[in-house]
Structure 1
């Protein structure tokens, strides 16, 4: 748990370590995140090559970064729901479904961005 008394630079350093731990945990436990990182690894160089202007390049890369961000948040929601309990509960299912819908929407946004810019 975070040191609640840390201030200034020490707090920022702690936050960086916690963020790295979050990336590692998500990579280890979430196949969807690994797939989306692979998508990013392929699409980022393509965006730099296919984008004509700096804005197009940023939009192409940013749309895939958005997918990663939403997946991280979805994974956090799922971890909290699973921490509470594995028995079926309507609200737990709803929380997971909403997180999944957010990921799907971010993927659709990325696809639309790529299609509009490249076509």
Structure 2
């Protein structure tokens, strides 16, 4: 992990590089993340076009980006659990299921926001 003991702009730059590495790793290893990225890539311009107010556009785009954020966090949980051990463990399974539920919740939120804004 680059960036330890750095200060100021150098620390921010190192954090940015680490973040890009995390996105690349998730893209490479997680099919769901790739699908959600494609959904977001299509949805952002559509949300900007369909939203009538700044708030609507922010909501339509924001919930899509939220799905990506939750997927990244879920992937981090899964990778950490797998790093600890690959043997079956009820707590590990529960943690992975909870992370998956968070992703599902973010998708339900996104769908609900899009539906409620577009039915007006």
TM superposition score normalised by structure 1: 0.97
Instruction: Please say if 1:118 is aligned against 2:118.
Output: yes
Q: Please list, as runs of the form range in 1=range in 2, the aligned pairs for 1:43-58 lying within 5 A after superposition.
A: 43-58=43-58
List runs of 5+ in structure 2 lacking aligned partners: none
Residue ranges of structure 1 left out of the alignment (5+ in a row): none
User: Partners in 1 of 2:90 and 2:26 — Cα distance?
Assistant: 25
1:61-100 aligned within 5 A: 61-100=61-100
Flag as ranges the 4+ runs of structure 1 deviating above 3 A.
none
Task: State the match for 1:11 in structure 2.
Answer: 11
Cα offset, 1:48, TM superposition: 1.2
Please provide the CA RMSD for this pair.
0.8
> 1 or 2 for the larger relative contact order (CA 8 Å, sep ≥6)?
1
Q: Give the Cα separation in 1 of the matches to 2:13 and 2:97.
A: 34
For 1:7 and 1:41, locate their aligned partners in 2 and report how far apart those are by CA, in whole Å: 34
Aligned to 1:24: 24
What is the Cα deviation at residue 42 of structure 1? 1.0
Aligned equivalents of 1:61, 1:81: Cα separation in 2 = 31
Partner of 1:106, secondary structure, is: helix
1:108 alignment counterpart: 108
Count of residue pairs the alignment pairs up: 119
Structure 2 Cα separation of the partners of residues 25 and 18 of structure 1: 11
Alignment check: 8 A CA contact 2:70 2:106 kept: yes
